[in-house]
Amino acid sequence: MSDLGQLAVIIASVRKDRLGPTVATWFLDHVPPGTDVIDLATLDLPDHLAGGGDTELFTKRIERADAVVVITPEYNRGYPGALKTAIDTVVAEWQAKPIGFVSYGGISGGLRAVEQLRLVFAELHAVTVQAAVSLPHAWDRFDEQGKLREPRHPDSAAATMLGQLAWWSEALRQARATSAFAL
C-alpha cells in the first residue's frame, strides 16, 4: 500500500450538539498515529478572509499535510459555512493535494455536500478521490458510547477511500518534490 504521508483530518461542523467529533473518533481508528486533527470548532478563522485569528496556524497545518480528509455533515443539501471559510482561508496550500471525504447526514448520508465540495476543491487544484465514506441517518448509527452499531460497510468504505488517498498522496508528494505546480 502507498504511504499517506502527513494526514490532516478536518472536522467541519461547529454546531452545538454536533455529531462530527463522534464520527471523527470512529474514523481516527482507521488512520495512522500522528494524524493532525483539525477541529474547526476550536479555531478562529475570520469570515472576512483578511487574516488574523488562527489563519496562520490553519494555513501552516494545511501546508504540512500531504493528504486531507474532510469529515462533513450535510446541512440543507450543502456543507457547513465554517468549512467554506476554512477552505477559502488558504489557497496555494491546497494545490496538488489529495482530498478524501467522510460525510454524514439524513437519507443522502452527506453525499450532496461532498458533490459540492468536489467542485470547490477542483477550483483550488486539489484532487478529490472517488471513494468516500457516507453515513446515512447518522444520528441512529452510533450507540450511547459513540460506537458505530454496524461498522462493516463503513469500515470497508474507509479502507477503500484511504487506499485511494494514499496512492494519490504518494504520487502528488513525489510530483511536488520534483517540480513546482503550474497554474
> What are the pLDDT digits (tens) for 14-28?
999 999 999 999 999
146 contacts 26 by C-beta, under 8 angstroms: yes
| 6, 11, 38, 162 from 28: Cα distances, Å | 14, 11, 12, 11
Q: Can you read off the three cell numbers belonging to residue 148?
A: 458505530
Among 57, 69, 61, residue whose Cα is nearest residue 9: 69
Measured distance CA(137)–CA(121) in Å, rounded: 26
Among 76, 74, 75, 72, residue whose Cα is nearest residue 87: 72
As a whole number, the mean pLDDT across the chain is 96
pTM over 0.85: yes
Q: Which domains does the chain have, with CATH numbers?
A: 7-178 (3.40.50.360)
